[in-house]
Amino acid sequence: MFESAEVGHRIADREYKRAVTKLREDLLKAQYDLISRKSFQLIVLTGGVDGAGKSETVNVLNEWMDPRGISTHAFGAMSEDERERPKMWRYWCALPPKGRMAILFGAWDADPIAERVHGDTDEAEFELALGNIVGFERMLANEGALILKFWFHLSKKAQKKRLKALSSDPKTRWRVTDAEWERFEHYDRYRKVSEIAVRETSTSYAPWMIVEGTDANYRYLTVGRMLLEAMRKRLAGKKPVITRTAVLPPPPLDGRSLLSQVDYRASLGDSEYKRMLEKYQRELNLLMRHKKLRRKSIIAVFEGVDAAGKGGSIRRVTGALDARQYQVIPIAAPTDEESARPYLWRFWRHLPRKGRMTIFDRSWYGRVLVERVEKLCAEDDWMRAYEEINDFEEQLIEANCVVTKFWLTISKQEQLKRFRAREKTPFKTFKITRDDWRNRAKWDDYERAVGDMIERTSNRPAPWILVPGNDKHWARISVLKTLCERIDAAL
Amino acid sequence: MFESAEVGHRIADREYKRAVTKLREDLLKAQYDLISRKSFQLIVLTGGVDGAGKSETVNVLNEWMDPRGISTHAFGAMSEDERERPKMWRYWCALPPKGRMAILFGAWDADPIAERVHGDTDEAEFELALGNIVGFERMLANEGALILKFWFHLSKKAQKKRLKALSSDPKTRWRVTDAEWERFEHYDRYRKVSEIAVRETSTSYAPWMIVEGTDANYRYLTVGRMLLEAMRKRLAGKKPVITRTAVLPPPPLDGRSLLSQVDYRASLGDSEYKRMLEKYQRELNLLMRHKKLRRKSIIAVFEGVDAAGKGGSIRRVTGALDARQYQVIPIAAPTDEESARPYLWRFWRHLPRKGRMTIFDRSWYGRVLVERVEKLCAEDDWMRAYEEINDFEEQLIEANCVVTKFWLTISKQEQLKRFRAREKTPFKTFKITRDDWRNRAKWDDYERAVGDMIERTSNRPAPWILVPGNDKHWARISVLKTLCERIDAAL
């Protein structure tokens, strides 16, 4: 597939100069449109062989366009902070907000290729990694990003010539180190692996565009024009929606659902509750100080029906811990910085380091719960979220994170009782708003959404724990006990 | 001064229990007021001797209040990311937004004490560090933060007893390591140094409150009540304004100002410009790849009159660099996350790592320019900003950062010419708005503000470079040349 980039494309200087003036102006215009409309973010990935002109081209783009609207990131060895999070975390953090453009060197596309070339992964792992990239980029595209990927190619002969030329010029000698020559030794293998990667991660929404790297004029003009065309097309049209066909099953004919079957009878008396609270809080405290926990992180997600007792349960968990070990993230409306990025970004930024716990009071599941029921996002958007969430949690688990998700539920009758009690207690009135009554009116819609959510996102490594909460004692102990068991099993 | 915390304060269990129920409720109420009003942020610092109950007390506060509104941070050894920025950077990053509370263990108060105890600093350096803390906390208070500092004290005898008790109990033994015993050996010196620090950093806006640590009941109740009282007082009243009396000199009687004296005659012809552009861009490129630069970072600030050519100058600088080395930060209106924190926060977050350059297109000087002239902040606020900015830049310089500030200026006549040209060129109309004309009408006010700014914030390590910009060539070469000289001198 790289043959088309070995034909010796060339643009004469005169033609180049004539074309560039207009191209620069057009690119700048398109960029200002992007900046002023803030309708999407532009992500440019660069890949390819050493010496094929990646960094020169990026510098030229920064020269042609306004560098104030562009961030350029190169990814080398991981820092401490990065090693303590999922592999993808540093790329997540580098994603630009809407209205801006980011150029990424050696981002998520580079790792699977390098690992396969060095034999660190087998073919199945390589294929899996490529599949993950396709899924990740599909999510980005669906979240509004315009993704362009440029692959800079040189034939083996051309690369050798280029590396030699670079190393014989004192001004560029520093760029060709042993690492470059070592990679050149693997040219054939690198090419073979890259071909597979480029083919399998080229999609309609994030295509690789192969650019012959021999002639600078050709290279710059080609990249500039492809960039311009893609930006113009997107600025003129709408965000394309790319979903896999996914269908939810219809509601069951007999009206029975997971939630309607919950048994609320279990309860705990005062003294039994006290005893067990002490027991499991002590256990959780010891577990969190376990030596092996230094290599794990913990995420606990709390979702549930309004007034089911999320806050009370969270406080029984934090009551067991040292305040320096955990962070509770209450999820409210997104800030403007959060709204300008993919919806998972506001959770990515709070992922715990090793040895720590993050408790999410509401979470990324808002997309398939409130956003679905209240129609705050399109059906396509929440439908694709199941898969995106599963991908995200898979990455957490791969990064040694223990993920547990609690759904706290109470009966419709119990909710009414609690709402009324809140309205009467002056100290608790802040806890009951018109929203709560409105949500309650949509009880059945929520029940269906929760059923679908659990069916599609509960799995062994990141299970949903259904906690009946009519009896607060029982609910709190269930949460603590489960958390202990989950952490214990992971150590 | 610690004697008052060695008297054996004690609260009986019965009295404690009775008091706590009410206190918890009141604290929670105050916290919800804080969360819903978002009128200030609450910063709690904890200091004192080992074993005096710091962490227990913080855990109790997290239990009494809603942990969803609290972040707790402990600062240990610095990470890679932290070592590459000013010492204070990690504390800056931990500051909570308005509406939230942060509890900090061993933050900016701890370093000067530890360094002095270990003899890493002499008395003068210690005094300087304490002075910096006072200035930093004054800035935070003026920016709206409520700062409370709790010092947990134990007499030498009581500490010994406490450490022994902790190490003999298998459940708490892990908490007493050699480090704690080693620190105990230095008790007398630590106490002496701490007394000075506590005294000199106790201010009306950030007082240290000394708490005897022997009796848990006394400790919890004392801290809880002081916290409640301070929150209530602040929730009921207004933000206190704390400024040093600073007075600006009146405008000079003869109407002459720094800017009115600028000589705009210098210019560069096309061929000379091309030659010098190439020369200085090459030089800058080489300097940025210098080995010694790996231990430095570069900040270039661009401010100036509208249409003075900031953008063009910035592009000539970035044109010399590899896109991976720099970041251009255009300063627009603050996001809501930025508005919820001290005004310097939106610059803190973009500080470069070592080996990198950050270019600010407009900057923290907005406070003493547009915010002053347009009356976007109170006079007290911009008046105190000179000192705060100087403090901030001093810390950058201490962290091996090369700071250069360019003021690009053009004559009033030249500005008119450029505004008109922009209005006529379809491609440039986006560059001229009603704001520009409005600013132009306030030319004299801006001129005075710029004069005051340069007088108060230009200094040898972070100078203001006045660049006459009527001739664009001349201005661009001046900027490049100065930047080269500044970096060269620092290597």
Using CB atoms, which residue from B73, B318, B427 is nearest to A29? B427
Q: In A, residues 365-384, which contact B (CB 8 Å cutoff)?
A: none
pLDDT attached to residue A246: 64
Using CB atoms, which residue from B62, B326, B430 is nearest to A318? B62
Q: Which amino acid is at A113?
A: I
Distance, CA of B254 to CA of A6 (rounded, Å): 72
- pTM attached to this predicted model: 0.89
Task: Name residue A409's beta-bridge partners.
Answer: A468
pLDDT attached to residue A8: 85
pLDDT attached to residue B364: 97
Distance, CA of A388 to CA of A384 (rounded, Å): 6
pLDDT attached to residue A244: 63
Q: Which residues contact A376 (CB under 8 A, 6 or more apart)?
A: A370
Count of beta carbons in the 10 Å neighbourhood of residue A403: 20
Strand, coil or helix: B400:
coil
3-state helix, strand, coil in chain B (%, to 5): 55, 15, 30
Q: Which residues of A touch B174 (CB under 8 A)?
A: 289
Q: State the DSSP code for B205.
A: S
Using CB atoms, which residue from B68, B322, B330 is nearest to A361? B68
Q: In A, residues 97-136, which contact B (CB 8 Å cutoff)?
A: 103, 105
Residues B186-211 as b/e (b if ≥16 CB within 10 A, e otherwise) read ebeebbebbebbbebbbbebbebbbb
Task: Name residue A459's beta-bridge partners.
Answer: A462
Contact between chains at A324 and B174 (C-beta distance less than 8 A): no
Radius of gyration from C-alpha coordinates of chain A: 27
User: What's the CA angle centered on B252, arms B250 and B256, to 5 degrees?
Assistant: 145
Q: A25 touching B, CB under 8 A?
A: yes
Distance, CA of A417 to CA of A341 (rounded, Å): 40
Candidates A25, A62, A321, partner chain B, best to mutate (most B CBs within 10 A): A62
Q: A427 touching B, CB under 8 A?
A: yes
pLDDT attached to residue B244: 63
ipTM: 0.85
């609320």: which residue's tokens?
A264
Name the E strands within A221-335: 297-304, 326-330
Q: Which residues of A touch B319 (CB under 8 A)?
A: 62-63
User: Which of A19, A227, A237, A251 has the alpha carbon at shortest distance from A144?
Assistant: A237
Using CB atoms, which residue from B63, B79, B289 is nearest to A319? B63
DSSP H or E stretch at residue B279: helix B270-288
Angle between helices A443-457 and A434-441 (to 10 degrees): 80
pLDDT lower than 50: segments of chain B: none
Contact A55, A105 (CB under 8 A): yes
pLDDT attached to residue A180: 86
Contact B357, B483 (CB under 8 A): no
Distance, CA of B376 to CA of B382 (rounded, Å): 10
Ordered alpha helix ranges (H), A289-442: 310-318, 336-339, 345-348, 370-373, 379-398, 412-424, 434-441
User: What's the CA angle centered on B357, arms B352 and B361, to 5 degrees?
Assistant: 95
Q: In what order do the strands lie in the sheet with A146-153?
A: A70-74, A101-105, A42-48, A146-153, A208-212
Strands B208-212 and B146-153 turn out to be: parallel
% of chain B at pLDDT higher than 70:
98
pLDDT attached to residue B427: 65
Q: Which amino acid is at B128?
A: L
pLDDT attached to residue B242: 77
Contact between chains at B79 and A81 (C-beta distance less than 8 A): yes
Using CB atoms, which residue from B62, B314, B323 is nearest to A59? B323
Q: Which residues of A touch B337 (CB under 8 A)?
A: 335-337
pLDDT (tens digit per residue) in B340-364:
999 999 999 999 999 999 999 999 9
Q: Which residues of A touch B73 (CB under 8 A)?
A: 324
Strand, coil or helix: A402:
strand
Tens-binned pLDDT, residue by residue, of chain A (491 aa): 788 888 888 999 999 999 999 999 999 999 999 999 999 999 999 999 988 999 999 999 999 999 999 999 999 889 888 999 999 999 999 999 999 999 999 899 999 999 999 999 999 999 999 999 999 999 999 999 999 999 999 999 999 999 999 889 887 787 788 888 988 999 999 999 999 999 999 998 999 999 999 999 999 999 999 999 999 999 998 777 776 656 677 777 777 777 888 899 999 999 999 999 999 999 999 999 999 999 999 999 999 999 999 999 999 999 999 999 999 999 988 999 999 999 999 999 999 999 999 999 999 999 999 999 999 999 889 999 999 999 999 999 999 999 999 999 999 999 999 999 988 876 676 778 888 899 999 999 999 999 999 989 998 899 999 999 999 999 999 999 999 999 999 99
